[in-house]
Amino acid sequence: MAEFLLELRSEEIPARMQTRAADDLRRLVVDGLKDAGLDFSDARAFATPRRLALVVDGLPVARPDVSEERRGPRVGAPEPAIQGFLKGAGLDSLDQAEKRDTGKGEFWFAVMKKKGGPTAAVLPGIIDTVMRTLPWPKSMKWSNGTRLWVRPLQSVIALFDGNVLTGEVGLAGTMAPIRFGNTTRGHRFLSRGDITVAGFADYVAKLRAAHVVLDPAERKRIILEGARTLTDEAQVALKNDEGLLEEVAGLVEWPVPMLGTVDPQFMDVPPEVLTVSMKTHQRYFVTTMPNGALANRFVVVANNVARDGGKTIVEGNERVLRSRLSDAKFFWDQDRKITLEERLPALKQIIFHASLGTQAERVERIVKLAGEIAKSIPGADAAQVEQAARLCKADLVSGMVGEFPEVQGIMGRYYALGERLPAAVAEAIGDHYAPAGPNDRCPSAPVSIAVALADKLDALVSFWSIGEKPTGSRDPYALRRAALGVIRIVTENRVRLPLATFFEHADLLDFFAERLKVQVREKGVRHDVVDAVFALGGEDDLVRLLARVDALQSFLGTEAGRNLLTAYGRAANIVRAEEKKDKSLAATISGPPDVALLELKEEQGVASALEEAERRVKPALETEDFAGAMQALARLRAPIDAFFDKVTVNVQDRPELRLNRLKLLNQIRATMDSVADFSKIEG
């Protein structure tokens, strides 16, 4: 068994693309090996800012001979079919094919034997396919070549069993192709000259000696351990941030964590602004004090080993941060001289959307919506809801948000608190964009709930009204996120909000239904259970809808539920089969059966059980006792079982009796379908 090593070295690959690119590299190579009939024991891919690498272990040195059979047309088939079969199988005549009796007639078969060969002969073609099909979000051409790649390609290592493969990456134009080789380069600043490698273990060791840590997981560990050592010594805590850790690990090949200090004069600036400046703009790790407050230390990760122990690097980063925070402090001091109310006229100068007017016009819509929504939220003070909704966008015209747009809403909260507005109003202003994602905190205070819902529902209704709906590949206005935000706010706070009253378009409710389906499926709810409840239609109270879903899933998990589902299936299948034969039957069998025609005690037992079930189900549904409604249905199990054991439905010599029994089965279906559409349940 042999090893295959591939390295594609280029200029810096954006950090956000590296993990996906490594996964795609592995997938494409593995697919190519499988298509070539090559087995292997393991395949691993890695990424650094300047290279993608892959190692495949356990490949055979030579491919085995394989036989492949292809069935052709029936013996005696028309000549064009015969000729097409021969051409596809690579045969000259039927003398080279075999005639076999399959039990369904005689057919022609071609047995094609493919000779194996050196594995090394297949690998260059796989590499070429990878180079042509690896899907970069953005790629580029360079110089006068025509090859597309994420960044200019510099070298390719292609080793199999320790030997360089024969091949090259053509760049076209007048650029010379890059031939497969066994050399690479180490760290851009800490290493010089080419590095010749003989295999993967040698490759990893020599890269490390040249200040390159190949494995992203190891770079993350080095960053995390080094940062925690520094922060422990400084008696501060490193704030966990997996996303930033992933990104920084993609920016450095030789990570060296260092500790910097925030100038004390900036520590009265809101911590969210400090965090944005450090994390988002500079890729620094934030630290906190024992009480959870933001500390005046940060961790920067260098991609270099400094001669002075990092003093110059730290001072340079502190200087950059100081400049950034000087602007923030200026805006913080200036913005507080103007009230949020005084900023409102400036919203007339900001276009929200060409077809939807200005931010000022949007605020008026949000105020109206929030007032209506507040009627469904216990404890929501109407005056505070109106004030918060009117001021929620005012910070958009502040200097701070102009410079740091990431803190819109957050700054409005600080300015409102500074003006001594009611705390509920300030919190609602700060929360009205939330939740911004699945891991974001959800508003829970009554005023905050009303304004946050109004903001999202206005976006959805407004963009729907101008035909700007999300498609499979496009959602430029983040309407899916807005819908999921509404769902979370409503369900987590159990807000009894009739959504349809706020929608001008029926398909917007369908859009919500699809988003809700995705959300509950991710939580482990069966998709057919969700479909069974949604199929009832006309439900716009998400709390009630989910309660029904939960009750149905619990019911189906019991023996009684499973048995009743079987009985429902028998009844529904018989009715559907008869309806298929007679299109007018559906109208004929609607309504209750004729009591006088219920001759057998098993028929009478089902009719009596259905009457009792309907008597219990209707009030249970009205009081939203969905578990009680399910239990009422469970009482149908025994009489229905007895019915199917003793009663013949399709009595051919008595059409009136047959019709009455079909009515009884249809009533079983209708009664159960008043709780959920059981025809959607699988099994």
Please tell me the distance from the alpha carbon of residue 249 to that of residue 559, in angstroms, as a whole number.
52
Please tell me the distance from the alpha carbon of residue 260 to that of residue 262, in angstroms, as a whole number.
7
DSSP 252: -
552, part of any domain: no
532, part of any domain: no
Residue 358, classed as helix, strand or coil, is strand
Please tell me the distance from the alpha carbon of residue 391 to that of residue 454, in angstroms, as a whole number.
13
Q: Looking at the structure, tell me whether residues 39 and 91 fall in a common domain.
A: no
Residue 366: CB atoms within 10 Å: 25
Q: Looking at the structure, tell me whether residues 102 and 165 fall in a common domain.
A: no
CATH number of the domain that 178 lies in? 3.30.70
Please tell me the distance from the alpha carbon of residue 36 to that of residue 4, in angstroms, as a whole number.
15
State the pLDDT at residue 104.
Answer: 82
Structure confidence at residue 76 as a pLDDT band (50, 70, 90): confident
Residue where one domain finishes, among candidates 209, 232, 264: 209
State the pLDDT at residue 173.
Answer: 64
State the pLDDT at residue 402.
Answer: 95
User: CA quadruple 224, 230, 231, 233: dihedral positive or negative?
Assistant: positive
Task: Assess whether pLDDT exceeds 90 at residue 391.
Answer: yes
For the chain, the maximum distance between any two Cα atoms, rounded to a whole number of angstroms, is: 104
484-495: average pLDDT: 95
540, part of any domain: no
Task: Assess whether pLDDT exceeds 90 at residue 95.
Answer: no
Ranges 122-131, 195-204, 401-410, 673-682: which has the least confidence: 673-682
Structure confidence at residue 422 as a pLDDT band (50, 70, 90): very high
Contact 643, 605 (CB under 8 A): yes
Please list, in sequence order, all residues whose beta carbon lies within 8 angstroms of the beta carbon of residue 411, skipping any fewer than 6 positions away: 270, 273, 335, 395, 398, 400, 401
State the pLDDT at residue 147.
Answer: 81
Cis peptide before 435 (omega within 30 of 0): yes
Task: Assess whether pLDDT exceeds 70 at residue 285.
Answer: yes
Bigger pLDDT: 334 vs 512: 334
Q: Across all residues in the chain, what is the average pLDDT?
A: 92
Residue 473: CB atoms within 10 Å: 5
Please tell me the distance from the alpha carbon of residue 538 to that of residue 558, in angstroms, as a whole number.
28
Q: Looking at the structure, tell me whether residues 642 and 602 fall in a common domain.
A: yes
15, part of any domain: yes
Q: For the chain, what is the domain count?
A: 5
Task: Assess whether pLDDT exceeds 90 at residue 241.
Answer: yes
636-659: average pLDDT: 89
579, part of any domain: yes
593-614: average pLDDT: 92
State the pLDDT at residue 519.
Answer: 84
Structure confidence at residue 160 as a pLDDT band (50, 70, 90): very high
State the pLDDT at residue 473.
Answer: 81
Task: Assess whether pLDDT exceeds 80 at residue 511.
Answer: yes
263-276: average pLDDT: 96
Residue where one domain finishes, among candidates 303, 329, 355: 329
State the pLDDT at residue 425.
Answer: 98
Cross-strand partners of 157: 7, 181
551, part of any domain: no
Please tell me the distance from the alpha carbon of residue 271 to that of residue 444, in angstroms, as a whole number.
22
Ranges 61-70, 346-355, 451-460, 482-491: which has the least confidence: 61-70
Tokens 């007339």, located at residue = 348
Residues of the chain with pLDDT > 70, as a percent, come to 99
Tokens 């918060």, located at residue = 388
Residue 317: both structure tokens together = 């980063």
Give whole-number Cα distances, 319 to 263, 273, 323, 326, in Å.
9, 17, 6, 11
Q: Looking at the structure, tell me whether residues 567 and 631 fall in a common domain.
A: yes
| Nearest alpha-carbon partner for 344 in 395, 302, 307, 300 | 395
Residue 307 belongs to domain spanning: 216-329
- Residue 196 phi/psi, 5-degree rounding, is -95, 130
State the pLDDT at residue 378.
Answer: 96
Long-range contacts of 560-564 (CB under 8 A, 24+ apart): 560/634, 560/637, 561/630, 561/634, 562/683, 563/637, 563/641, 564/633, 564/634, 564/636, 564/637, 564/640, 564/672
Residue where one domain finishes, among candidates 178, 209, 240: 209
Structure confidence at residue 538 as a pLDDT band (50, 70, 90): confident
Q: Looking at the structure, tell me whether residues 106 and 199 fall in a common domain.
A: no
Residue 71, classed as helix, strand or coil, is strand
Question: From start to end of 380-492, where are the E strands?
Answer: none
553, part of any domain: no
Please tell me the distance from the alpha carbon of residue 282 to that of residue 301, in angstroms, as a whole number.
10
Cross-strand partners of 110: 70
Task: Assess whether pLDDT exceeds 80 at residue 48.
Answer: yes
Q: Looking at the structure, tell me whether residues 489 and 384 fall in a common domain.
A: yes
Task: Assess whether pLDDT exceeds 80 at residue 446.
Answer: yes
Ranges 323-327, 353-357, 586-590: which has the least confidence: 586-590
DSSP 245: H
Please tell me the distance from the alpha carbon of residue 260 to that of residue 263, in angstroms, as a whole number.
10
Contact 630, 678 (CB under 8 A): no
Q: Looking at the structure, tell me whether residues 163 and 284 fall in a common domain.
A: no
Q: Looking at the structure, tell me whether residues 476 and 603 fall in a common domain.
A: no
The segment with the largest mean pLDDT, out of 23-27, 516-520, 524-528, 651-655, is: 23-27
User: Angle of helix 506-522 relative to helix 527-534, nearest 10 degrees?
Assistant: 150
Q: Looking at the structure, tell me whether residues 154 and 201 fall in a common domain.
A: yes
Residue 250, classed as helix, strand or coil, is coil
Task: Assess whether pLDDT exceeds 80 at residue 112.
Answer: no
Q: Looking at the structure, tell me whether residues 586 and 631 fall in a common domain.
A: yes
388, part of any domain: yes
Q: Looking at the structure, tell me whether residues 429 and 494 fall in a common domain.
A: yes
State the pLDDT at residue 66.
Answer: 67
330-357: average pLDDT: 97
Can you spell out the DSSP letters for 612-675? Answer: HHHHHHHHHHHTT-HHHHHHHHHTTHHHHHHHHHH--S--TT-HHHHHHHHHHHHHHHHHHHTT
630-657: average pLDDT: 89
478-495: average pLDDT: 95
Residue 247: CB atoms within 10 Å: 16
- Give the model confidence (pLDDT) of 539-590 as tens digits: 889 999 999 999 999 999 999 899 889 889 989 999 998 888 888 888 888 8
Q: Looking at the structure, tell me whether residues 359 and 496 fall in a common domain.
A: yes
CATH number of the domain that 586 lies in? 1.10.730.10
CATH number of the domain that 396 lies in? 1.10.3210
